Structure 1
Amino acid sequence: MYTAPLPFTKGENMQKENYQKLIEQKLQSLPLYVYYYTQQPNLAVTTIYQYLSEYERFFTWLRTTQTMSTNDDHKLICTATSNKDISIDTLKNLQASQVQQYLIDCQSTENKQNKITSKITINRTIHALRSLFHYLTVVADLNNGEPYFYRNVMLKIPFYKGVKESISYRNVKYGPQLYMGEKKFEWIHFIENDYENTISKHAIRYFKFNKERDIAIIALLLASGLRISELVNLNIHDLNIIDRSVLVIRKGGKKDAALIADWAIPYLKKYLHVRNTRYQPNKQLKAIFITRYRETAKRIDTSTIQRFVEKYSIAFPDGSRTTPHKLRHSLGTEIYNKSMDVVAVATQLGHTGLSATDQYIQQANKEKQRMILNQK
């Protein structure tokens, strides 16, 4: 039934194609109304995939959980034999107490790291379900121009308040993972000159093949604050070396132009100088950052970048294990420390609001607070 492709624009990269295949696989076992939900514009492919995973888990729970009502002993909430067969009436008649029961069950379940699901993760589940129910009760017009139903039980489900970690705690905890000031230059110098001395002879060949690319990516993350998803989607024509900027599609499809710190430009030039001869991409491959797999060049994916960022940071004697997101956070912290300007941080990182910059304000206030504590 689900043969129509999702509405991606022309020239979508390999990563999105891979996600689309995974999405289409998931849709095979989900109801038709979920497929229509995914056809909405401005839904990021990664968001669709994550939300479908949430719906799979929720629908499976509906089919395997007994109702809490005393009048319906041992009666399942939904009697459908598969997730695909769950009718719209099941969601229409769902009770708030049943949704709360599901969230409690989720919170008491251990994740893959054998840890109890956090409130932050539960809030993501609520957000995913709210999105689906909003579509079914407001946006959808497949029922003779009307939504599927009007009663939205998710409006009765509040987000979980409170987090286990304060901003101060997070700043201390993740501070070693930030690469700012001279530390970032020392790290890049280590990758350029010393990293190969820490690996086996077998691994050196692969490292040298991708050396310029990997350093260019790390430099761009540290010098622009791009999200990893934004970086992998970059095409050649998006990069302006002379203007030292890059065109980027932010969350929600917003077009933006991110500035690049001057120090990173030489690393980008070194990579671009070897890109074509080393990776031998065909003319149709417009991605800036590419990899070579089974004699074929393709756009690099996020998992590859995550792996080598972690690998290089673990090997660095003066650093700690870090992630591409922490490199983005490194630049945000640096900008605020130098400017004390939350607007400058938000503008560079592509934040849609200023609330996301609270962590940088808190970090900058730490030294001031220490001075007050030490006053005699």
Structure 2
Amino acid sequence: MDAKQYANLIDKELQEMPLYVFYYTQQPNLSVTTIYQYLTEYRRFFNWLRETPKDIENPNAGSISDAKSNKEIKLETLKHLQASQVQMFLKELSIKQNKQSTRDSKKTINRTINALRSLFHYLTVTADLNDGEPYFYRNVMLKIPLIKGVKESISYRNAKFSPMLYTGEKKRKWIDFIENEYEHTISTRRRSSFLFNKERDLAIISLLLGSGIRVSELTRLNLKDVNLRDRSIIVLRKGDKKDAPLIADWAMPYLENYLKIRKQRYQPDKSEQALFLTKYAGKAKRIATNTVECFVSKYSTAFPDGNRTTPHKLRHSLGTELYDKSKDVMVVATQLGHTGISATDQYIQQTEVEKQRIQLDKTK
């Protein structure tokens, strides 16, 4: 989804939230995706507060919150919440089936905990709407630890995700498949849509593989952010940090081919400056992240010599290939916009697998 779609969903959620939650969302360090995800967590937590008896042994004594709607959840309810009540809520998440007929995983429950921690930190520390003071000082979430999950080694993660990486010859064959063969594997109706977006899709996949930017960074790109002469782009990283990653030479022709047909093919309004466009109801607009995720999955699933992948795994593909060629963690960290070098460990391990195999075979 693009920022406008998230904004609409956030507005809808906030209409059913207390005013203090609205003030929480106005903090400058929260991205729109984080705000929306956290609001959905608050919705189900507030629902639970209104539906759950405050005394399990005496269910007729009323619920934890007597509010008629989530919008009416009082600060006093959160102020006096007991750690045992929060733990009961989290326990129910782990044993009850959700709307997808599954149970929340440890990772999902930890996301819930982090969302509640963020809200309670705001209410007890950051907020200053109460004559310069926070709303209250007792933070029950300080007593709630994250759930410890099964740890995975870097070797295990790489073995699990390496089929989803597209590097070297596999990368070249995949792009050639999309460019020259994919249209012959689909119906006439689907072929028309594919051919309309072919140059755009090739440019996007090449840019993901040739620059390592995140899909959210890609969909936010405007025309002015592309520097064809320097083969670089201006992106807005996490934390609203501007960066200028380079684009691999091999990817440039695909981007240039798309730019040649962008205006005539999509016919955007003069005010529409988004780099990558989609045509919806006859009108050109900025492409959404889920659109990119869908066609990356579609093309990789159709590729006979590959596996289904995601835009994020294309980012990992570049990180792996870049370290393999450079053996320099700073090169990888700089290209991918990492604030430190610890995040590059996975790429180091990935490129060392073949070396490990050679040494192991010497033990015969």
SS in 1 for 2:245: strand
Match of 1:25 in 2: 12
Match of 1:331 in 2: 318
The aligned runs of 1:92-111 (5 Å cut-off) are 92-111=79-98
Match of 1:286 in 2: 273
> Comparing 68-77 with 199-208, which one deviates more in the overlay?
68-77
The one-character-per-residue Cα deviations of 1:80-117 (angstroms, maximum 9, x if unpaired) are 12111100111111111211222222122345554432
The one-character-per-residue Cα deviations of 1:254-283 (angstroms, maximum 9, x if unpaired) are 111111111100000000000001101111
Mapped to 2, the partners of 1:110 and 1:349 lie a distance apart of 38
Conservation of the 8 A alpha-carbon contact between 1:223 and 1:260: yes
Mapped to 2, the partners of 1:82 and 1:320 lie a distance apart of 46
The one-character-per-residue Cα deviations of 1:66-91 (angstroms, maximum 9, x if unpaired) are 33666887642222121111001111
Amino acid of the structure 2 residue aligned with 1:240: N
Match of 2:113 in 1: 126
The aligned runs of 1:179-218 (5 Å cut-off) are 179-218=166-205
Conservation of the 8 A alpha-carbon contact between 1:55 and 1:129: yes
Mapped to 1, the partners of 2:341 and 2:102 lie a distance apart of 32
Match of 2:155 in 1: 168
Cα distance change on mapping 1:303 and 1:342 into 2, 3 Å: same
Give the drift of 1:305. Answer: 0.7
The aligned runs of 1:1-376 (5 Å cut-off) are 15-67=2-54, 75-111=62-98, 113-163=100-150, 165-374=152-361, 375-376=363-364
Conservation of the 8 A alpha-carbon contact between 1:119 and 1:163: no
> Comparing 68-77 with 191-200, which one deviates more in the overlay?
68-77
Match of 1:8 in 2: none
> Comparing 105-114 with 349-358, which one deviates more in the overlay?
105-114
Unaligned runs of 5+ in 2: none
Give the drift of 1:161. Answer: 2.3
Amino acid of the structure 1 residue aligned with 2:104: T
Mapped to 1, the partners of 2:346 and 2:96 lie a distance apart of 30
Conservation of the 8 A alpha-carbon contact between 1:140 and 1:146: yes
| RMSD of aligned residue pairs (Cα, Å) | 1.9
Mapped to 1, the partners of 2:54 and 2:60 lie a distance apart of 8
Give the drift of 1:344. Answer: 2.2
Conservation of the 8 A alpha-carbon contact between 1:119 and 1:160: yes
Mapped to 2, the partners of 1:170 and 1:218 lie a distance apart of 23
> Comparing 364-373 with 88-97, which one deviates more in the overlay?
364-373
Amino acid of the structure 1 residue aligned with 2:206: A
Mapped to 2, the partners of 1:100 and 1:356 lie a distance apart of 32
Match of 1:10 in 2: none
Conservation of the 8 A alpha-carbon contact between 1:54 and 1:128: yes
Mapped to 2, the partners of 1:364 and 1:74 lie a distance apart of 62
The one-character-per-residue Cα deviations of 1:210-247 (angstroms, maximum 9, x if unpaired) are 00000000000001111111100000011111111110
TM-score of the aligned structures, taking structure 1 as reference length: 0.92
> Comparing 114-123 with 20-29, which one deviates more in the overlay?
114-123
The one-character-per-residue Cα deviations of 1:32-68 (angstroms, maximum 9, x if unpaired) are 1001111111321111111101110111111112336
Mapped to 2, the partners of 1:298 and 1:149 lie a distance apart of 45
Amino acid of the structure 1 residue aligned with 2:257: K
Work out the number of aligned pairs and report it: 363
> Comparing 14-23 with 274-283, which one deviates more in the overlay?
14-23
Cα distance change on mapping 1:139 and 1:221 into 2, 3 Å: same
Conservation of the 8 A alpha-carbon contact between 1:67 and 1:73: no
- Percent identity over paired residues: 65
SS in 1 for 2:35: helix
Amino acid of the structure 2 residue aligned with 1:147: P
SS in 2 for 1:291: strand
SS in 2 for 1:202: helix
Mapped to 1, the partners of 2:58 and 2:357 lie a distance apart of 61
TM-score of the aligned structures, taking structure 2 as reference length: 0.94
